[in-house]
Amino acid sequence: MTSAEVRPIHLDTDPGLDDLLAIALALALPELRVDALTTVAGNAGIDRVTENAQRFAALAGLALPIGRGAAEPLALSRCDAAHFHGEDGRRGVSIPALDRRPVETAASVLRARLAAHGVRCVVALGPLTNLATLAREQPTLLEGIEIVWMGGALQGGNVTPVAEFNAYADPQALSTLLDSAAALRVIPLEVTETVALREADVGEQPFGASELGRTLEAVLRALMEAERPTAGEARASLHDPCAVLAATRRDLFRYEEKVIRIQVDESSDRGRLSELPAGSGRTVHYAVEARADEIKRIFLDGLRRLGEAA
């Protein structure tokens, strides 16, 4: 693969179990190069998600900038997903505290990477607070940038009956970006929840015997257990890994051009997406279908390669 075919991406993330799997997948795909990571409060508080990003980066042998991002949403009350991802953001999965890299601020990392014009794609795996803050402070920096975001839902939520978590956690952030210079590619809950691994999909030691491979397996199995109460079986929806794949494999998803808006008030509709008539505003690329079996195959193969090479 020539360097021209490799797409440099920036990951903005709230690790989070599926975030950790998504970071691993981004590292495993030869057509992507992770340029930097920034963290945002979401699944857990900013200290926890940043600690998890640092620990995982060290375990994976990553030497890249890590920027610590927003601790609070732009306007509404902060929420988290501790009931699902645990207070530590990783349901007690052990990740060694190796020599972690010092963290910068998300703003400085994002500005440096986007201004350098090397990175034209940000894969956003949590609430959009960091990117919305940048859009407000330096609007032109998002010109020509594609944001591939796991978030939102038009057919029922997972944090309320009508809102998906990343949208619910900071509705103003999405609203800001809908009016920004960035192009949005939305991978919503109704699509990502169709891409789920079950026990039968995951064999023994699926990612090899290395510490990284065994840690990735522990993260996946913790995710499967987290979903068991609602799914009625051990099951892992690959929400964030879908967004990573959407940054490189357009063929794995079917999109429609939609004009969307989000409810930004502190009400029972907080974070609810609605679709407006065509022609009533800027459109986003909105995923409506995924090739689930192919995505699961790529995911399992990629993490197996990563774990076996460690």
- Active-site annotation, residues: 239
Contact window for Ca ion (CB under 5 A) among 23-31, 187-195, 217-225, 239-247 = 239-247
Q: Does 150 contact ligand RIB by CB under 6 A?
A: yes
Q: Does 170 contact Ca ion by CB under 5 A?
A: no
Q: Does 166 contact ligand RIB by CB under 6 A?
A: yes
CB 89 within 8 A of CB 48: yes
- Joined tokens for residue 131: 């990117």
CB 16 within 8 A of CB 85: yes
Q: Does 12 contact Ca ion by CB under 5 A?
A: no
Q: Measured from the CB of residue 19, what is the shortest distance to Ca ion in angstroms? A: 4
The footprint of ligand RIB on residues 101-130 (CB under 6 A) is 125-126
- Collapsed DSSP state (helix, strand, coil) of residue 96: coil
User: Which of residues 58, 59, 125, 224 is near Ca ion by CB under 5 A?
Assistant: 125
Among 9, 44, 17, 11, smallest CA distance to 239 is for 17
Angle at 35 between CA 33 and CA 37, to 5 degrees: 120
- Collapsed DSSP state (helix, strand, coil) of residue 170: coil
Q: What is the DSSP string of 16-52?
A: -HHHHHHHHHHHH-TTEEEEEEEE-SSSS-HHHHHHH
The footprint of ligand RIB on residues 74-93 (CB under 6 A) is 81
Contact window for ligand RIB (CB under 6 A) among 87-95, 163-171, 250-258, 298-306 = 163-171
Which CB atom, from 125 or from 298, has the smaller least distance to Ca ion? 125
Residues that bind ligand RIB (CB under 6 A): 14, 16, 18-19, 42-43, 81, 125-126, 150, 158, 164-166, 189, 239-240
